[in-house]
Amino acid sequence: MKALIFDVDGTLADTETAHLQAFNAAFAEVGLDWCWDEALYTRLLRVAGGKERLMHYWRMVDPEEARGCKLRETIDAVHAIKTRHYAELVGSGQLPLRPGIARLIDEAGRAGVPIAIATTTTPANLDVLLRTPLGADWRERFAAICDAGTTAVKKPAPDVYLAVLERLGLEAGECLAIEDSENGLRAAQAAGIATLITPTAYTGQDRFDGALLVLPHLGDPEQPIAQLPGADHRWADLAALHAWHRGTLFEAA
């Protein structure tokens, strides 16, 4: 295992409630009478990417109107407003990283293990989320950052992971992906990358067949994990990730 590749939404931080609130604020701002609740949004998350999600919903509730020639421009405009609302909600720095993320990023930095980002989210969302917990120079910590601006096709297509591998100059078998969703798992798997899953409330019902391991979160000394296969600690440190990636901890467990 020569590099770690992190998904963003749901993996680095539990962002989807902020995304949901930002969508609803955008709908209100443009005078749409749409209001998504958590149950509906959980289903809509099956469609990766905010613009794709909007288009899917529009086609579902008003297929006639969604056939209009200005569909794409309208989606882009509503999504830009949503992105502004997301920045206002998240940019204040109130949304913490999930347990173990900051620790693992620091550990990888000390060990010289490159880390990367493979996400379907809008590029601007990364800075508003990460500049508070990781510092204004957070980009310098990542050897590769691939997002919605990198590839045309979003997860579950493997494109964003393939772009990361190319930028890292590594083979799929030399990397470990950390994801929270079935779409993310399918994207990483299709690129040939072993994947550790840490679901959220939004993705807990997803199917994770073929994942290397599913954990509630990465854990920390302050937030230990009750059941960790074969590891010395009650949190996922770099040594445990290396061993899971090799398959040796499963043999020992």
Q: From residue 47 to residue 86, what is the string marking binding to ligand XBP with x (rule CB under 6 A)?
A: -xxx------------------------------------
User: Which of 141/242 has CB closer to ligand XBP?
Assistant: 141
**Tokens of residue 177, six digits:** 């992906």
User: Which of 131/234 has CB closer to ligand XBP?
Assistant: 131
Q: What does the alpha-carbon distance between residue 139 and residue 143 come to, in Å, rounded to a whole number?
A: 8
The contacts of residue 26 (CB under 8 Å, 6+ apart) are: 78, 79, 81, 82, 85
DSSP secondary structure letter of residue 226: S
9 is catalytic: yes
In the set 5, 9, 200, 225, which binds Mg ion (CB under 5 A)?
9
Residue 219, binding choice from Mg ion, ligand XBP, none, Cβ under 5 to 8 Å by partner class: none
Q: What does the alpha-carbon distance between residue 189 and residue 195 come to, in Å, rounded to a whole number?
A: 7
Within positions 182 to 211, which residues make up the interface with Mg ion, using CB under 5 A?
184
Asked if 160 contacts 187 with a C-beta cutoff of 8 angstroms, the reply is yes
Within positions 96 to 135, which residues make up the interface with ligand XBP, using CB under 6 A?
119-122, 125
User: Which of 158/184 has CB closer to Mg ion?
Assistant: 184
Q: What does the alpha-carbon distance between residue 196 and residue 185 come to, in Å, rounded to a whole number?
A: 8
Is 9 a binding residue for ligand XBP by CB under 6 A? The answer is: yes
Asked if 7 contacts 184 with a C-beta cutoff of 8 angstroms, the reply is yes
Nearest to 88 by CA among 147, 43, 22, 23: 22
Stretch that binds ligand XBP, among 45-53, 64-72, 130-138, 194-202 (CB under 6 A): 45-53
Task: Give the binding site for ligand XBP (CB under 6 A).
Answer: 7-10, 19, 48-50, 119-122, 125, 148, 155, 184
Catalytic site positions: 7, 9
